[in-house]
Amino acid sequence: MDSVVIVGGGAAGLAAVETLRSEGYAGALTMVCDEPELPYDRPPLSKQVLTGAWDPERTRFREAGHYADLGIRLVRGRAGALDADGKTVYLSDGYPLRFDGLIIATGVRPRRLPAGHELAGVHVLRDHPDVAALRAAFAAGGRVVIVGGGFLGMEVAAAARGLGLDVTVIEPLAQPMIRQVGPAIGAEVARLHRERGVDLRTGIGVAHLISDDIGSGGDPAAAGAATGDRATAGTARGNGAAEVGTAANAKGATVTGVALTDGSVVPAECVLVAIGAVPATDWLAASGLALGDGVECDEFCRAAPGIYAAGDVASWVNPRYQRRMRVEHRMNATEQGAAAAVNLLKGDVQPFAPLPYFWSDQYNVKIQVHGDLPDGAEAAIEEGSPADGKFVALYRKDGATTAVLGWNSPARLIRYRKLLLG
């Protein structure tokens, strides 16, 4: 193998290129990055960078000299197509990159509402330009509405409240983060935020966004509603203000509120849409690769001969659970990028069977989870208590322990993690 291409400049892509070199690969190594800067870490964007505690440059994984020392060619551009049989990646401008081995690590892109993102004041959060725009909105003050109560939404809510902003979170499910931590711990997350002044509205969706362009004639149904992690059409109207539509957007309209499915309106100068993400696989539509919820791979992260995938974009069969998974967590990206590189280089020698791990920092609370939370798993507190601000909870289903969660309890988690690995 003389030429390897890594498409993606995130944690999975970085782990892949560094692992290839550390495992002895000496051939040509190209890393395609679709942003005009050095690869950087994303989790701090919703916390340290957003609050101003970190400069964006601090999120860089490595400085330029590191890539030069490893003989890694960084190519700026977006992947446009893959010819799997011809072993060529084409960038969006048509530039070809030929390979003997390929690792796809293109991550995800934010899911959006069907309409309304053209309005000034409506944001998503994925990259450095996104966080810069959101920071500017926060600095201007005003009321913040966050659509979506998952990890990202609740972390941004904590950051915004820490800056003294008026924050409302809209979550259609019964509790925030219910998909990540279940209803019982989700209720503790809700309590945490409400005690700090967040107006958290659960069990209700978004009908449409409202702009300041009165009489635009926009179609309220086009604006959509956020339901869980899915965006679906909405039909409610908004108290005489202009609904989002093409005419309003063409005139440079600004968001002024969020209409909810119960007919109420939440005023807003800033709206963050945090309703999940979708795998960045559009460029692979004609590749012949199996694309479901991401690039479908086997237990070795292999999608096709000589082609592997890693990180948020990869859907693989995890031998630990004997089922297909796609995991959008930072540590999984690093571990899977390394595993994909080893299997590409050495020939499928290392099934990727991780015990999933993720964390979230909100206010003065660190939430950490090891393991898997299947549907129907129930949490029970084993040590500590919510009243103490520190506890450990075990998740069980059908008599088996599937995961452990720590709430400000990193040291206590070690022995429980060993039980899961046992």
All structural domains of the chain with their residue ranges: 3-109+277-346, 117-273, 364-421
CATH class label, 117-273: alpha beta
Contact 36, 357 (CB under 8 A): no
63 is written with which tokens? 């400085």
Mean pLDDT of 25-36: 97
Q: Which residue has the higher pLDDT, 231 or 280?
A: 280
According to the model, what pLDDT value does residue 229 have? Answer: 34
Would you state the pLDDT for residue 244?
A: 39
Q: DSSP 3-state assignment of 102?
A: strand
Provide the token pair at 409: 């309890």
**pLDDT computed for residue 304 by the predictor:** 98
**Listed range (17-31, 202-216, 267-281) with the worst mean pLDDT:** 202-216
pLDDT at 115: 86
Same fold for the domain at 3-109+277-346 and the one at 117-273? yes
- Specify the fold of 364-421: Enolase-like; domain 1 (3.30.390)
Average pLDDT, the chain: 91
Q: What is the pLDDT of residue 216?
A: 38
43 has pLDDT over 90: yes
Mean pLDDT score, 379-394: 95
Neighbours of 68 (CB within 10 A): 11
Least confident of 25-29, 75-79, 198-202, 223-227: 223-227
Where does residue 205 rank: exposed (0-12), middle (13-18), buried (19+ CB within 10 A)? buried
Band of pLDDT at residue 231, cut at 50, 70 and 90: very low
Phi, psi (deg, nearest 5) at residue 264: -80, 165
The residue type of 180 is Q
**What span, in angstroms and rounded, lies between the C-alpha atoms of 189 and 184?**
9
**Contact by Cβ (8 Å): 74, 33:** yes
Interval 153-159 mean pLDDT = 98
C-beta of residue 159 within 8 angstroms of C-beta of residue 361 = no
- Using a pLDDT cut of 70, give the percent of the chain over it: 91
In this prediction, residues 202-212 reach a mean pLDDT of 95
The three-state secondary structure class of 238 is coil
Q: What string of DSSP letters covers 24-52? A: T--SEEEEEESSSS--B-SGGGGTHHHHT
CB 53 within 8 A of CB 28: no
What's the mean pLDDT in 291-305?
A: 98
Residue 249: pLDDT band (50, 70, 90) is: very low
* Residues whose CB falls within 8 Å of the CB of residue 337, separated by 6 or more in sequence, listed in order: 11, 12, 13, 14, 15, 16, 19, 103, 105, 310, 311
For tokens 């870490």, the residue is 41
Kindly state the average pLDDT of the residues 394-409.
95
Distance from C-alpha of 118 to C-alpha of 251, rounded to nearest angstrom: 10
- The mean per-residue pLDDT over the stretch 275-294 comes to 97
- Say how far residue 142 (Cα) sits from the centre of its chain: 26
What pLDDT is recorded for position 222? Answer: 35
Q: Which pLDDT value is given to residue 418? A: 85
Q: What is the spatial distance between Cα 28 and Cα 6, in angstroms, rounded to a whole number?
A: 11
Q: Is the pLDDT of residue 207 over 50?
A: yes
The confidence score (pLDDT) of residue 33 equals: 97
pTM of structure = 0.90
Tokens of 49: 């960078």
Q: Which residue has the higher pLDDT, 62 or 223?
A: 62
Q: Is the pLDDT of residue 226 over 80?
A: no
Task: Indicate the range of 37-46, 238-247, 343-352, 366-375 predicted with least confidence.
Answer: 238-247
Residue 38 predicted with pLDDT over 60 = yes
pLDDT above 50: residue 190:
yes
Give 414's pLDDT tier (boundaries 50, 70, 90): confident
Residue 418 contacts by C-beta under 8 Å, 6 or more apart in sequence? none
Beta bridge partners of 103: 6, 308
What's the pLDDT score for residue 127? 96
pLDDT digits (tens, 9 = 90+) for 366-379: 999 999 998 899 99
Tell me the mean pLDDT in the region 278-305.
Answer: 98
Residue 300 has pLDDT above 60, yes or no: yes
Indicate the pLDDT class of residue 241, thresholds 50, 70 and 90.
very low
Q: Report residue 150's pLDDT band, with 50, 70 and 90 as the boundaries.
A: very high
Per-residue pLDDT at 419: 84
Q: What is the pLDDT of residue 237?
A: 28
The predicted pLDDT at position 183 comes to 96
Name the fold adopted by 3-109+277-346: FAD/NAD(P)-binding domain (3.50.50)
Question: What pLDDT shows up at residue 197?
Answer: 98
For 353, how many CA atoms within 13 A lie in the half-sphere containing its CB?
Answer: 9
